[in-house]
């Protein structure tokens, strides 16, 4: 399995390169490209939240706490006193740190459902819905955010798989095939639950037409192709 630093590094490079390519087509601006790169990098550590005490789990939980706390503050501002807000935030932290994290740790198996393409789709859709409903991202940008989160997630799975090839001994390690898989072949009930959740989530995702105009549009890639190589190579200037 690839280590934490490798996952962060590769996910950051891949998502920044992808965001740059879209930026060059003029379909997104530079601020959006930056945020999408960060989201893609987060996606790259997300699958290892099932690894028990590992750092990714804590980072993801703190990140998630921050998101919920942020929307709480946004909704409570004006109607609640500072003291009430503080108490709420502390209570929320205790719930996250000592209740949810504990339940989560007990209920997950490393390299189970969290290392699957089905989970990547679910996480992408979940993030699309959350960023639209809570952070008020416009529809196309919410979809792009979910898309980048899923992209980082898939990069993680591929990296884990790549690391299960022992290049020196030219053989496959035992872990081969446990990371990049469509579903979890061992616990079918997890797959059924996840598919059901995806169907529910699809009711809450914003309209897709603007997103499709960017990502599903041949014109975008034509433009990317045109801007891929320099107009003039350095030696042509000589
Ligand atoms: Zn992993």
Number of domains in the chain: 2
193 occurs within a structural domain: yes
What's the CA-to-centroid distance between 24 and ligand 1, angstroms?
31
214 occurs within a structural domain: yes
Last residue of a domain, one of 88, 107, 126: 107
Rounded Cα distance between 183 and 114, Å, is 9
Rounded Cα distance between 10 and 4, Å, is 10
What's the CA-to-centroid distance between 1 and ligand 1, angstroms?
6
Query: 174 and 89 in one domain?
Result: no
Query: 150 and 207 in one domain?
Result: yes
Query: 77 and 125 in one domain?
Result: no
pLDDT tens by residue, the chain, 238 residues? 678 888 999 999 999 999 999 998 888 899 999 999 999 999 998 888 777 656 777 777 887 788 778 878 877 777 888 898 899 899 999 988 888 888 877 777 777 788 899 999 999 999 999 889 887 889 999 999 999 999 999 999 999 888 876 555 556 666 666 777 777 777 788 888 899 999 999 998 999 888 888 888 888 888 888 888 888 888 888 7
Rounded Cα distance between 149 and 62, Å, is 17
Query: 199 and 103 in one domain?
Result: no
What's the CA-to-centroid distance between 51 and ligand 1, angstroms?
8
What's the CA-to-centroid distance between 229 and ligand 1, angstroms?
34
What's the CA-to-centroid distance between 157 and ligand 1, angstroms?
6
Helix spans in the chain (H): 4-24, 30-43, 55-76, 82-94, 101-107, 117-133, 139-162, 188-202, 209-215, 218-226
Query: 14 and 127 in one domain?
Result: yes
192 occurs within a structural domain: yes
Structural domain of residue 91, as residue ranges?
53-107
What's the CA-to-centroid distance between 154 and ligand 1, angstroms?
10
What's the CA-to-centroid distance between 214 and ligand 1, angstroms?
30
Place of tokens 């989160």: 149
Query: 208 and 194 in one domain?
Result: yes
What's the CA-to-centroid distance between 2 and ligand 1, angstroms?
7
2 occurs within a structural domain: no
Distances in whole angstroms, Cα of residue 12 to Cα of each of 2, 22, 23, 41, 172: 15, 15, 16, 5, 27
What's the CA-to-centroid distance between 48 and ligand 1, angstroms?
5
118 occurs within a structural domain: yes
44 occurs within a structural domain: yes
CB atoms within 10 A of CB 225: 10
Rounded Cα distance between 39 and 42, Å, is 5
The half-sphere exposure of 104 on its side-chain side, counting CA atoms within 13 A, is 19
What's the CA-to-centroid distance between 18 and ligand 1, angstroms?
22
């Amino acid at each position: 399995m690839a280590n934490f630093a490798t996952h962060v590094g590769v996910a950051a490079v891949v998502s920044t390169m992808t965001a740059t390519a879209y930026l060059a087509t003029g379909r997104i601006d530079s601020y959006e490209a930056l945020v999408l790169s960060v989201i893609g990098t987060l996606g790259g550590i997300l699958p290892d939240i099932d690894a028990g005490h590992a750092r990714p789990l804590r980072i993801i939980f703190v990140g998630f706490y921050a998101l919920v706390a942020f929307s709480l503050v946004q909704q409570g501002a004006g109607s609640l006193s500072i003291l009430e807000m503080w108490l709420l935030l502390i209570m929320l932290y205790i719930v996250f740190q000592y209740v949810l994290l504990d339940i989560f740790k007990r209920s997950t198996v490393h390299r189970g459902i969290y290392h699957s393409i089905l989970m990547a789709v679910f996480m992408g859709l979940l993030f699309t819905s959350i960023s639209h409903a809570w952070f008020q991202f416009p529809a196309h940008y919410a979809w792009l955010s979910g898309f980048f989160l899923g992209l980082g997630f898939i990069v993680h799975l591929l990296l884990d798989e790549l690391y299960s090839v022992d290049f020196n001994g030219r053989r496959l390690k035992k872990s081969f095939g446990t990371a990049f898989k469509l579903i979890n072949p061992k616990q079918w009930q997890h797959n059924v639950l996840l598919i059901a959740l995806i169907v529910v989530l699809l009711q809450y995702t914003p309209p897709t037409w603007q997103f499709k105009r960017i990502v599903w549009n041949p014109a975008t890639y034509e433009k990317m192709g045109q801007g891929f190589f320099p107009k003039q190579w350095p030696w042509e200037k000589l």
